[in-house]
Amino acid sequence: MVAKIVNLNWDTEKSFILSDKDGYEFPMKPKGVSASDLLPLALIGCASHDIVEILGKQKQDLRELQVSAESTQDDDPPWRFRKIHIHYKAVGKGIDAEKLRKAILISEEKYCSVYNTLKDAVEITHDSEVVEAE
């Protein structure tokens, strides 16, 4: 098992600065991303990294991957996430839509730690499309 440490530093200017295990810093609201947006962002970031790697190994000519996540949360505190729907848009030359679908499933079932952590707590769905690059 691997242990990782991430950090948050708050100062009197009301700044919340997150930093990852490598020291990369990024701000949270009020001057950056909201804490609840970090969950779907982590999910699509994790999955997208896997998908790009898998499609690359399959010699797919991927030029761009655009991913969005639509989240549904409760209206009242603690605003629990109920559903996250992910849309994958792969742009490239001659990308096989079936290979894209399989890459998404491989990421979900085998590699993406965020997906595997959330899948029993939140309904996660996805769809995908392939767009031919000019």
Query: What pLDDT, in 10s, does the model give residues 79-98?
Result: 999 999 999 999 999 999 99
Do 80 and 16 have their domain in common? no
Q: Residues with Cβ < 8 Å from 131, sequence gap 6 or more?
A: 89, 90, 91
pLDDT in tens, 5-15: 999 999 887 78
Report whether 11 contacts 86 (CB < 8 A). Answer: no
**DSSP code for 22:** T
pLDDT score for 62: 98
Instruction: Kindly state the average pLDDT of the residues 7-24.
Output: 90
Give residue 43's domain range.
Answer: 35-132
Q: At 39, is the secondary structure helix, strand, or coil?
A: helix
My answer on whether 127 and 103 are in the same domain is yes
Number of domains the chain contains: 2
pTM: 0.92
